[in-house]
Chains A and B, each alone.
Chain A
């Protein structure tokens, strides 16, 4: 589906209840829209609510209040099973700590989203190999995660995020655990996914430098959007 807006958020509030009187408001009336095919970054200090926002965007979590439409689907009306389907079909997650399934080969990790989508064995193996080749990991297909370096793990994770050809890729500080050289490599993969595959990408980052490479930079502070500007290049 190619609706005008990939993400449409209105007055999103997220509160955590830690004990009876302690109500922690992490997101405070967030309004956000991201066009299909856009590459945006979210910046902000630690604890400002970036990951919480990403979890809501990625259908891992539900907002306490507000309205959220992802790729034309109103998320407020969906049950857990439907949210699983949305995550499986429309969202590709890339995490700071890679989150590969342990004791499972790179190939099997990339196959996982397709497995849950019910793709046949031969098809998913073929596609997983193709994706690993795209991120330059075809030599390491049979390796276990603990046999891979950080940069290699992140490339496998990106291949896995692409498995079901999602509408949107959500990357939460994907270069945070990498050195600048491998971080650069990972960034280049995102750029090519954006340009060549036309993916919508939301990148959360600490690095001002990397944020400048994206089309739009959204600043978050204490759960509120404090600024939106275009990337400098």
Chain B
């Protein structure tokens, strides 16, 4: 028999018992809403966290000098832990890298020349520490980092005024600095900062630098730690890496550097090539090696953990859906008992068992779909509110919505089948005699 007739029949009988229908809907609405809400907050959280990691340079490859972890050494290390201040081997295990262990400028430029098709840029940096720039009563907190020209490109530093540090600044060890827009505002106000001299106070020392550029400081949407007054916020101040080395008298060479690959380069293949390239340099170094890694794999791992977490929470919420489904089954059983006579009449008029079954399953599906739609709307609302509170950008997913609709329908079929089948199998005579 035709579907339209079944639909209008189902809607008619749901309308006849409005209060009952509403209460039955509630179970499904709550179940679907909580699943959708959790999934929405979950995927928003995943997107935000992965986005933040991506912003930190997930596409980049990091090479760093690391202690070798041989099996022998591990054993010594364990023994060392048991016997503090123990044997001489422990010194080699916990060796601090010396100048000969560091990656040299020469190695880096050779490396770069070796892979011209893969490497777009290499970022070098030397952290100097925090300091303060003062000018009369005005001040700005900074964290000073020595960088090369590639640093700006690899870390997507956006210059809004002037320029970034060039190779020439490094070779000449010029006293030039790139400051944040926040910094420029607090020290220079509306005055043009490029070309001005600034005094950087660090401990006992005072350094005089010329501002050559201003970058746009990004406002992170993930706030961590205690809130700081706007004017006390510490921003980065970039100086040539050669100048930084002379500031803190550190050795030449680097403990780590970052590589940005060209678009379309197979990261995994390049990782392996870069690793074997540096393995040759460090083949005779017993304590140290250069380890090349990308953040992509870390990101994938974090992403799947977060996904599993929100899926797990959604599963728990799904239990309320089962409760809702049982509610529907209960109401349908009451309803078919009340309508026994009607079922008898329909059978007397020639309705087959299948027709009766379809009629009641349709009713069950309709309840679940209405509940599902209301639940989806409510769940997206909950998800938006939840994401807002947690400070994430909310992304309700179409997939989740379609899934929820499918699940509602399945619940309707699953929990509607038993009552519908019971109705379908009624004996026509007994149903007709039912008072």
Contacts and interface: CB of A to CB of B under 8 A. Distances in A.
A117 B350 contact: yes
Nearest to A100: B345
B348 interface: yes
A84 B342 contact: no
Given A88-B349, A101-B345, A115 B5 contact: yes
Nearest to B1: A115
How many B residues touch the partner, as a band?
20 to 34
A99 B341 CA distance: 8
Contacts of A60: 347-348, 428-429, 432
A118 B16 contact: no
Contacts of A81: 352-353
A50 B147 CA distance: 105
B429 A61 contact: yes
B350 A84 contact: yes
A60 B13 CA distance: 26
Contact of A99 (B350, B351, B355, B432): B432
Interface string B313-342: 000000000000000000000000000011
Interface in B1-24: 1-2, 4-5, 12-13, 16
A55 B433 CA distance: 12
A93 B1 CA distance: 21
Most buried by B among A58, A88, A115, A164: A115
Contact of B346 (A89, A101, A117): A101
Contacts of B355: 116
A116 B350 contact: yes
Interface in A109-125: 112-113, 115-118, 121
A102 interface: yes
A61 B433 CA distance: 13
A164 B432 CA distance: 21
A160 interface: yes
A99 to B, nearest CB: 5
A195 interface: no
Interface string B347-366: 11111110100000000000
Given A55-B429, A60-B429, A101 B350 contact: no
Given A60-B428, A61-B429, A116-B351, A99 B345 contact: yes
Contact of A112 (B2, B349, B429): B349
A87 B350 contact: yes
Contact of B13 (A85, A88, A103, A116): A103
If over half of B's interface residues share one DSSP class (helix, strand or loop), that class is named, otherwise mixed; here it is helix
B342 A102 contact: yes
B350 A89 contact: yes
B348 A101 contact: no
B13 to A, nearest CB: 7
A179 interface: no
B349 A116 contact: yes
A130 B192 CA distance: 93
B16 A103 contact: yes
A88 B13 CA distance: 24
A81 B13 CA distance: 26
Contact of B350 (A55, A88, A100, A103): A88
A118 B1 contact: yes
B353 A112 contact: no
A84 B432 contact: no
Nearest to A163: B349
Contact of A121 (B2, B13, B16): B2
B8 to A, nearest CB: 9
A83 to B, nearest CB: 9
B353 A160 contact: no
A196 interface: no
B342 A113 contact: no
B237 to A, nearest CB: 79
Given A87-B349, A99-B348, A103-B16, A115 B2 contact: yes
A45 to B, nearest CB: 19
A87 B1 contact: no
A93 B349 CA distance: 8
Given A102-B342, A103-B12, A112-B349, 20 more contacts: A55-B429, A60-B428, A60-B432, A84-B353, A87-B347, A87-B349, A93-B348, A93-B349, A99-B341, A99-B348, A99-B432, A101-B346, A113-B349, A115-B1, A115-B5, A116-B1, A116-B351, A116-B352, A117-B350, A160-B349
11 contacts: A55-B429, A58-B348, A80-B353, A84-B350, A84-B353, A85-B350, A99-B341, A100-B345, A101-B346, A102-B342, A121-B2
Closest 5 CB pairs of A and B: A88-B350, A116-B350, A84-B352, A87-B350, A113-B349
Interface of A: 55, 58, 60-61, 80-81, 84-85, 87-89, 93, 99-104, 112-113, 115-118, 121, 160, 164
